[in-house]
């Protein structure tokens, strides 16, 4: 009987945890037309906080309509990364809460191959989130 009660509590807790909205959401860039800057850096994002900024963005001007459908600028902002580097380059954005603030960490791992590829990553994050330094 106790085992059933414990399993029921664990199951209910996992359902509640699973329904939480992720803080950082990565958008797919496969179908988007992205203009790559000449000197883009993987660790330095372009921050876009409104639909007007998105329409004027040099990186996403041709994909603004498709991206705008996936973001709510009232509560979220967009971090756009575009750079050229090794085909094995990796980039991730993670979030932590500290003192009721959301701190973002950008983790860039350079690849080991010498092939030059263009990369683009788009992350939707809370509007009040700050990048940790």
Distance of alpha carbon 25 from alpha carbon 125, whole angstroms: 7
Q: Give the model's pLDDT for residue 121.
A: 94
Domain that holds residue 77: 23-131
Q: Give the model's pLDDT for residue 21.
A: 61
CA 76 to chain centre: 11
Per-residue pLDDT in tens (0 to 9) along the chain, 133 residues: 555 555 555 555 544 444 456 789 999 999 899 888 888 888 889 999 999 999 999 889 889 999 999 999 999 999 999 999 999 999 999 999 888 889 999 999 999 999 999 999 999 999 999 998 7
12 in a structural domain:
no
Q: Give the model's pLDDT for residue 11.
A: 57
Q: How many structural domains comprise the chain?
A: 1
Contact at 8 Å (CB) between 68 and 76? no
Residue with tokens 């660790």: 43
125 in a structural domain:
yes
DSSP β-bridge partners for residue 27: 122
8 in a structural domain:
no
1 in a structural domain:
no
């Amino acid at each position: 009987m106790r085992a059933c009660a414990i399993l029921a509590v664990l199951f209910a807790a996992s359902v509640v945890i699973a329904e939480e909205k992720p803080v950082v959401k990565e958008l797919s860039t496969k179908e988007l037309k992205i203009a790559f800057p000449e000197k883009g850096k993987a660790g330095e994002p372009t921050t876009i906080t409104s639909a007007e900024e998105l329409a004027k963005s040099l990186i996403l001007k041709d994909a603004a309509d498709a991206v705008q459908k996936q973001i709510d600028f009232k509560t979220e902002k967009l971090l756009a990364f575009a750079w050229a580097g090794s085909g094995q380059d990796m980039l991730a954005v993670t979030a932590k809460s500290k003192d009721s603030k959301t701190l973002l960490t950008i983790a860039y791992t350079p690849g080991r191959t010498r092939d030059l590829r263009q990369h683009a990553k788009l992350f939707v994050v809370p509007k009040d989130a700050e990048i940790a330094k």
